[in-house]
Structure 1
Amino acid sequence: MTDSRGLETRHHRPGLLALSPTTKQLLGAVEHAGGHPYLVGGCVRDAILTPGTRPKDVDIEVYGLEPDRLVHELRRFGYVDEVGARFTVLKLRTGGEDLDIALPRRTVRTEQGHEVVADPYAPLVEASGRRDFTVNALMLDPVTDEVVDCWDGLGDLRSGVLRHTTSSFAEDPLRVLRGAQLAARFDLTMAPETVELSRSLTDEHATIARERIWGEWHKTVTRGVRPSRALRVLAQTGWEGHYPQLAVLHGVRQDPGWHPEGDVHTHIGLAADKACEVADRERLTGDDRAVVVLASMLHDVGKHTHTRIRVRQDGQEHISSAGHAGAGVEPARAFLRSIGAPRHLRDRVLPLIREHMAATGNDDPSPAAVRRLARRLQPATMQEWAMVVESDKGGRGVGSVPGGTERWMELARRLGTERAPVRGLLRGAHLIAAGMEPGPEFAPILREAQAAQDDGEITDEAGAVAWLAGRIASGTVPGGRAAVGRP
């Protein structure tokens, strides 16, 4: 065997993948019909990293079988949805599993130049060379239990290198963002030649649909273990220019006593890495994980405009960033919109950024302070806030320290505000019972009552009713009766 790039090598790896009975039956049926199926892509890569696991997503590529015959065989297992007419991708839902089955592709000359077509008889080297990265071009032959490696993907995986296969990489600029999320998920470093090719695609960012961009960022923050690797890829390739809220953080200095790790850009990468560690510890998945990681990554974007450097009388520099937490909300909002993050996520991330300094200098809060913070954070939670603060404090290299929110969370548990602010005791029904007509004036009254409740002025329903009666009697709340009762 040879390990040269572009030449087929085979490595016997029995027991690499634990396939479901349905998948095994399908593979057997394809083989019986005269085809040669291979497992391809991420399921092979992940199995090499964690042998013996059952893949969540199974991608199959079938050689030696005409499309019509392949569709005929697949329909015995369930409904076949043919998508991507150009590439002949077949989606099959069977036995509770979603399978993607494709024919190999190759480039052919046409009168107009070149065209990518499906070809069941394409050489393995050529077909696998159309995949994005060498680590994703690995194939598993289920008949022989051999890993087919045409582009030294195994070597790159061992070395932690993310390298493109061929120049076909440039056909889809989204692959640069895919490279960033793969770097975050598997702690990979992009190869210099892939960096250069990616830099040549920088202007193509505008051609990518927003939902596809979000798809890659979503994987970065929900599956990543080191988002700092993704940020590094973006910086190396020049694609960071499309995310100016991140790019401007390079060189923004921090007080070395608090932040010995370096500039703000370095810090947000380390904080995001720490957030992944915290999220894994707390078993967060999906949107819950995305919220904590995104908020940790973006918590200090306000330092770009709010960092001040003053030279003291003793000649020493004093670096401060007062007000940066609140100042970070709008640039964070702009960034989240630019990557296509849905509004329900933005609404949870932004208050975490605004409030991430709430505990600074106050390690013994009052119950009122805790209740007020829980209300300011909604729809985010104090649990999420504590994780972001921990990620901030733990993302400082050798200067990392504990989060310092223990007393806040102890009180939150006692007050019942860990996951939501306390429910307002004064409600609209009380206002109606007091003789007020429902209308827009209800909202500010209820907000004021909530604030009084958070401050401990109102502690039960009777107190809420008495508070309202007092406001009516003083004329602060017009249109009601001074004597009010329960609704």
Structure 2
Amino acid sequence: MSPRDAALKLASRLTAAGHVALFAGGCVRDKLLDREPKDFDIATSARPSEVLEIFPGSNEVGAHFGVVIAKHAGHHVEIATFRTDGSYKDGRRPEAVTFSTPEEDALRRDFTVNALFENPVTGEVIDHVGGLTDLRAGVLRAVGNPSERFTEDALRLLRAVRFATVLDFTLDPGTRAALAECAHLLAKISPERIRDEFSKILTAPRRRKGVELLVETGLMAHIVPEFLDTLGCDQPPEWHPEGDVYVHTCIMLEMLKPDAPLELCLAVLLHDIAKPPCRTIDEDTGRIRFNGHDAMGAEMSDVILRRLRYPNDVVDAVVPMVARHMQFMNVQQMRTAKLKRFMASPTFTEEMELHRVDCGSSNGFTDNYEFLQAKGEEFAVEPLIPQPLVTGRDLIALGLAPGPRFKEILELIQTEQLEGRILDREPALDYLRALAVENSA
């Protein structure tokens, strides 16, 4: 059973019990835009207690606010009573709610295109706020006074940018002006909630538009303020004819594939984050340099991502990508062993994509990218890092005491293996014995 059919069954039971039950919000919007709704929400005249009577065992996730989660055929559907919200003292949720009518319920919602209802049986769309007109025009407009909507729940500031980005809508001028006016309210929102909306913006196909909106409305100052320093940070025109670091980064974001993973999107956003503080001008040549921006960028990225409460696995993927992005210029000079170790990184596929858009958005050089593609095919016949021919136990058997030198010796033998000079265990043991004699002398 599809999510829509499951929601329709639940709505039918509410209607049979004498209540009004309408599909509401995003599922109505997405259907009208020929997009597949991710989930279906029901708005109803039934009070939470009445919903629970009809669907016993449902989850009272927000019964105080009129919200119950009901299940049918494995699908979870949010059922919310028509309501009017009270004051929002914490800038996040209303202090209290009053159960009301569909018309009043529509007026409390965030954006007109999200305030539409649909009769689930007839398909009739019910519009109390002009959402259909905005939907046809591709305009994202706050319901009523935009400053009031954003003051009620400051997360709506980021939701506005997300919807404009994901739907490729234009922000209504009044709504856009209110975004800038209310940007400071993001200080009331937890890093986790900011992170989740920010991630959705970055992983949307039109992510460049989203980042530019965050910058232009002043919201980025409350998310990654360090990124604002890339504006006006000029670069050597012979390497970066496209413009400053900000323009370069925006072009890279636009060049990424639509389904680029979050870790790659974050790495692209942050790969040159340290160029502004690292920027110097060579006294002799007048050339602009950014020495060490990769290493400092990795440190800054770690701080930024942890401040936004990204999980360790995301941080552990992004930071090395930022740290290593300048090493691609040296791959053709790397010895085979070093190159194989470089290519064995768990994020190498994403790093290749970062390198592709880094060059494509600036100098257009593809030599290193093509070299690595060819090497990938050449090395594909066996693992980049094969099983070791010898281990620490072999070192101990030769009488060497465990210590820091162990790692160095084993790495030397692995290098010989990766270079193709030692391929079997016996020659590896002979090499090991020679090293043991050398180290005991």
1:294 matched to 2:266? The reply is yes
**TM-score normalised by the chain length of structure 1:** 0.78
Query: Are the aligned partners of 2:48 and 2:68 in contact in 1 as well (CA < 8 Å)?
Result: no
1:179 matched to 2:160? The reply is yes
In the TM superposition, what whole-angstrom CA distance separates every residue of 1:286-320 from its partner, at most 9, and x where no partner exists?
xxx1122211222221221233445887xxx6444
CA distance in 2, matches of 1:466, 1:244: 57
Residue 94 and residue 143 in structure 1: after superposition, are their counterparts in 2 closer, same or farther (change >3 A)?
A: closer
Residue 178 of structure 2 corresponds to which residue in structure 1? 197
C-alpha displacement of 1:271: 1.0
Residue 67 of structure 2 corresponds to which residue in structure 1? 89
User: Aligned to 1:394, which of 343, 360, 376?
Assistant: 360
Quick one: which amino acid aligns to residue 26 of structure 1?
Answer: L
Residue 151 and residue 253 in structure 1: after superposition, are their counterparts in 2 closer, same or farther (change >3 A)?
A: farther
**TM-score normalised by the chain length of structure 2:** 0.85
Residue 109 and residue 322 in structure 1: after superposition, are their counterparts in 2 closer, same or farther (change >3 A)?
A: closer
How do residues 28-39 of structure 1 correspond to structure 2 at under 5 angstroms? 28-39=12-23
1:188 matched to 2:175? The reply is no
Query: Are the aligned partners of 2:22 and 2:42 in contact in 1 as well (CA < 8 Å)?
Result: yes
CA distance in 2, matches of 1:25, 1:451: 64
1:150 matched to 2:107? The reply is no
In the TM superposition, what whole-angstrom CA distance separates every residue of 1:115-150 from its partner, at most 9, and x where no partner exists?
54141x3242x2122222223222222133122233
Residue 11 of structure 1 corresponds to which residue in structure 2? none
C-alpha displacement of 1:202: 3.2
Residue 355 and residue 94 in structure 1: after superposition, are their counterparts in 2 closer, same or farther (change >3 A)?
A: same
C-alpha displacement of 1:228: 1.7
In the TM superposition, what whole-angstrom CA distance separates every residue of 1:388-417 from its partner, at most 9, and x where no partner exists?
112223345xx7565851221221243249
Residue 269 and residue 187 in structure 1: after superposition, are their counterparts in 2 closer, same or farther (change >3 A)?
A: farther
| Structure 1 SS opposite 2:309 | coil
| Structure 2 SS opposite 1:252 | coil
User: Aligned to 1:56, which of 34, 38, 45?
Assistant: 38
Residue 437 and residue 58 in structure 1: after superposition, are their counterparts in 2 closer, same or farther (change >3 A)?
A: farther
How do residues 69-468 of structure 1 correspond to structure 2 at under 5 angstroms? 69-75=50-56, 79-107=57-85, 116-119=96-99, 121-124=100-103, 126-166=104-144, 167-222=148-203, 224-242=204-222, 243-277=224-258, 280=259, 289-309=261-281, 318-360=287-329, 367-375=336-344, 378-380=345-347, 382-396=348-362, 404-416=368-380, 421-436=385-400, 442-456=406-420, 458-468=422-432
Quick one: which amino acid aligns to residue 314 of structure 2?
Answer: L
Quick one: which amino acid aligns to residue 275 of structure 1?
Answer: L
RMSD of the TM alignment (CA)?
A: 3.2
Query: Are the aligned partners of 1:409 and 1:418 in contact in 2 as well (CA < 8 Å)?
Result: no
- Residues matched between the structures, number: 431
CA distance in 2, matches of 1:188, 1:446: 58
Of Structure 1 and Structure 2, the greater helix share is in 2
Sequence identity (%): 33
In the TM superposition, what whole-angstrom CA distance separates every residue of 1:365-398 from its partner, at most 9, and x where no partner exists?
65334213125xx342x222111112223345xx
| Unaligned segments of structure 2, at least 5 residues | 89-93
C-alpha displacement of 1:322: 4.1
Residue 85 and residue 443 in structure 1: after superposition, are their counterparts in 2 closer, same or farther (change >3 A)?
A: farther
Query: Are the aligned partners of 1:188 and 1:229 in contact in 2 as well (CA < 8 Å)?
Result: no
CA distance in 1, matches of 2:155, 2:109: 13
